[in-house]
């Protein structure tokens, strides 16, 4: 009886592990690659959500500026109240350097490393951030968040 059960389980496992080479990807919405999302904190305050910095006094310089999208999100829902988002669909695996200027007050030297993850049959690999540093500033990241916190002190 035990032998029959093991054989049935083995056959069932093999059948479940067979991959269908004819995946229908026509209805699949692929997730975009990672964007750089930064929560910027000074004196325990989020300087984006409190209005200290906005589109008029934030600038970015560095690698791959063509097609770089810069968004200031002062009213986000969830674990933080405001984010600075940098995104570029031209990013590929590798290292990128950017300098974020917050008015005349702060220069943040970002070094971001991107890698690939996924290998989805419909969407392929997805670009993800594997490392992010901010020069002399402390960078924090909680488990599984969608943003990095930079402490401006």
pLDDT in tens, the chain (153 residues): 556 655 656 555 554 444 455 667 888 887 777 899 999 999 999 999 999 999 999 999 998 888 999 999 998 877 788 999 999 988 999 999 999 999 999 999 999 999 998 777 888 888 889 999 999 999 998 776 789 999 998
**In sequence order, what are the residues at sequence separation of 6 or more whose Cβ sits closer than 8 angstroms to the Cβ of residue 29?**
none
- What pLDDT shows up at residue 127? 87
Six-digit token pair at 52? 């200290």
- What pLDDT shows up at residue 150? 95
Q: Quick one: 23 exposed, middle or buried, by C-beta within 10 A (0-12, 13-18, 19+)? A: exposed
Length of the chain: 153
DSSP 31: P
Question: Is the distance from CB of 61 to CB of 101 less than 8 angstroms?
Answer: yes
Question: Is the distance from CB of 35 to CB of 144 less than 8 angstroms?
Answer: no
Alpha carbon distances (Å) from 86 to 24, 53, 61, 69, 122: 33, 15, 11, 6, 26
């Amino acid at each position: 009886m035990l032998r029959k059960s093991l054989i049935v389980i083995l056959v069932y496992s093999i059948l479940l592990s067979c991959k269908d080479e004819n995946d229908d990807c026509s209805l699949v919405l692929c997730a975009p690659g990672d964007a750089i999302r930064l929560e910027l904190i000074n004196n325990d305050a989020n300087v984006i959500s409190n209005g200290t910095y906005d589109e008029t006094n934030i600038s970015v310089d560095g690698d791959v500026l063509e097609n770089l999208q810069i968004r200031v999100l002062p009213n986000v829902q969830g674990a933080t109240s405001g984010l600075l988002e940098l995104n570029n669909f031209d990013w590929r695996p590798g290292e990128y350097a950017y300098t974020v200027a917050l008015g005349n007050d702060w220069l943040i030297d970002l070094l971001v490393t991107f890698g690939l993850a996924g290998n989805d049959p419909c969407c392929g690999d997805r670009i993800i951030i594997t490392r992010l540093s901010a020069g002399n500033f402390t960078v924090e990241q909680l488990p599984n968040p969608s943003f990095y916190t930079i402490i401006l002190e």
